């Protein structure tokens, strides 16, 4: 269920749309915050990816070198598009420029990709922000994406709360090992009072961008410690190896 803050934010944005008609954040054409021609230029990731971390791969191998040597603690990660060009610009507008309205068209894109090869999950949860960062931004973009995506595909939200228990450095510019160390132990799961929570469930983690799987892996560890029998990640975009947000 969408939180009341997210609901009020969405309602306020819809009211603004009536006063100030939307323009595409990429090409500035009138009629939509993200127009169909710009969406069509997103590079879909429907094949040629590592079956564990979802990184783009060349050739016919099924696992990247990193996952073959040291598989992450998450069961697998999939992404809708490659984090480049229009997709990069749209994510930055959603994440840093206050364009929360982009969550709806971007989640529809995620839902279309999901329909071709859904993952074996029971419930969903968004990768959380630290309370201070969410207060500064005004919303969690991953939660907004998750709410719209879950509504479209009919996936219930996880009971209990996945929390970021300590503030972490921004992942931008950090190496793979630094990213893992940065988020290690940064998440915890609180079950609902008097209930088992995620015990015996398969959880889908929603995030905006996956770069090295470090954040999703840290969340998965917390959920599996709480009894989840499987944790998968599904993100809007996947960065190519060795690129940064």
pLDDT tens for residues 159-179? 999 998 876 656 666 666 666
| pLDDT (mean) for 194-216 | 92
What is the pLDDT of the chain when averaged over all its residues? 87
**243 located within any domain:** no
Lowest mean pLDDT among 41-45, 92-96, 169-173, 235-239: 169-173
**55 located within any domain:** yes
- Residue 230, strand partner residues: 202
Q: Are 152 and 112 in contact (CB under 8 A)?
A: no
pLDDT tens for residues 82-117? 999 999 999 999 999 999 999 999 999 999 999 998
Q: Which residues contact 42 (CB under 8 A, 6 or more apart)?
A: 80, 81, 82, 85, 86, 87, 109
**244 located within any domain:** no
Confidence of residue 210 (pLDDT cuts 50, 70, 90): very high
Q: Report in angstroms the alpha-carbon separations of 162 from 158, 179, 203, 224.
A: 9, 19, 11, 12
E strand residue ranges, the chain: 76-82, 123-126, 161-164, 187-190, 202-210, 230-238
Query: What is the pLDDT at residue 87?
Result: 96
Residue 4 has pLDDT above 80, yes or no: no
Query: What is the pLDDT at residue 174?
Result: 61
**245 located within any domain:** no
Q: Report in angstroms the alpha-carbon separations of 82 from 41, 68, 95, 98, 206.
A: 11, 22, 17, 22, 16
Residue 154 has pLDDT above 60, yes or no: yes
Domain extent, residue 108, equals 4-238
> What is the rounded distance in angstroms from the CA atom of residue 39 to the CA atom of residue 136?
29
For residues 110, 205, 238, 67, the Cα torsion angle rounded to the nearest 10 degrees is -140
Q: Are 170 and 201 in contact (CB under 8 A)?
A: no
| pLDDT (mean) for 27-48 | 91
Tokens of 40: 């069509």
Domain count, the chain: 1
Q: Which of 1-10, 64-73, 114-123, 180-189 has the highest mean pLDDT?
A: 114-123
**221 located within any domain:** yes
Query: What is the pLDDT at residue 17?
Result: 62
Q: Report in angstroms the alpha-carbon separations of 68 from 45, 76, 129, 139, 220.
A: 20, 13, 30, 36, 19
What's the CATH code of the domain at 153? 3.40.50
Residue 229 has pLDDT above 70, yes or no: yes
Q: Closest Cα partner for 82 from 109, 62, 61, 108?
A: 109
> What is the rounded distance in angstroms from the CA atom of residue 173 to the CA atom of residue 155?
34
Residue 1 has pLDDT above 60, yes or no: no
Task: Compute the half-sphere exposure of residue 171: CA atoms within 13 Å on the CB side of its CA.
Answer: 22
**162 located within any domain:** yes
Q: Are 242 and 65 in contact (CB under 8 A)?
A: no
**63 located within any domain:** yes
Q: Which residue has the higher pLDDT, 236 or 134?
A: 236
Residue 78 has pLDDT above 70, yes or no: yes
**76 located within any domain:** yes
């Amino acid at each position: 269920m969408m939180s009341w803050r997210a609901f009020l934010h969405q309602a306020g944005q819809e009211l603004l749309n009536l006063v100030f008609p939307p323009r595409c954040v990429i090409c500035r054409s009138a009629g939509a915050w993200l127009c169909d021609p710009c969406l069509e230029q997103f590079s879909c990731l429907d094949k040629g990816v590592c079956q564990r971390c979802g990184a783009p791969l060349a050739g016919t191998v099924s696992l990247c070198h990193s996952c073959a040597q040291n598989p992450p603690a998450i069961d697998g990660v999939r992404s809708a598009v490659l984090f480049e060009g229009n997709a990069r610009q749209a994510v930055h507008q959603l994440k840093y420029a206050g364009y929360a309205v982009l969550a709806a068209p971007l989640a529809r894109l995620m839902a279309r990709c999901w329909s071709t090869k859904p993952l074996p999950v029971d419930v969903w949860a968004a990768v959380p922000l630290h309370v201070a960062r969410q207060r500064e931004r005004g919303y969690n973009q991953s939660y907004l994406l998750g709410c719209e995506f879950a509504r479209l595909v009919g996936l219930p939200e996880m009971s209990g709360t996945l929390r970021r228990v300590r503030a972490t450095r921004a992942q931008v510019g950090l190496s793979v090992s630094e990213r893992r160390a940065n988020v290690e132990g940064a998440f915890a799961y609180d079950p609902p009072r008097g209930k088992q929570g995620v015990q015996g469930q398969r959880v889908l983690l929603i995030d905006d961008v996956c770069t090295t799987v470090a954040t999703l892996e840290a969340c998965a560890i917390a959920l599996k410690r709480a009894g989840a029998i499987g944790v998968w990640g599904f993100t809007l975009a996947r960065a190519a190896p060795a690129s940064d947000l």
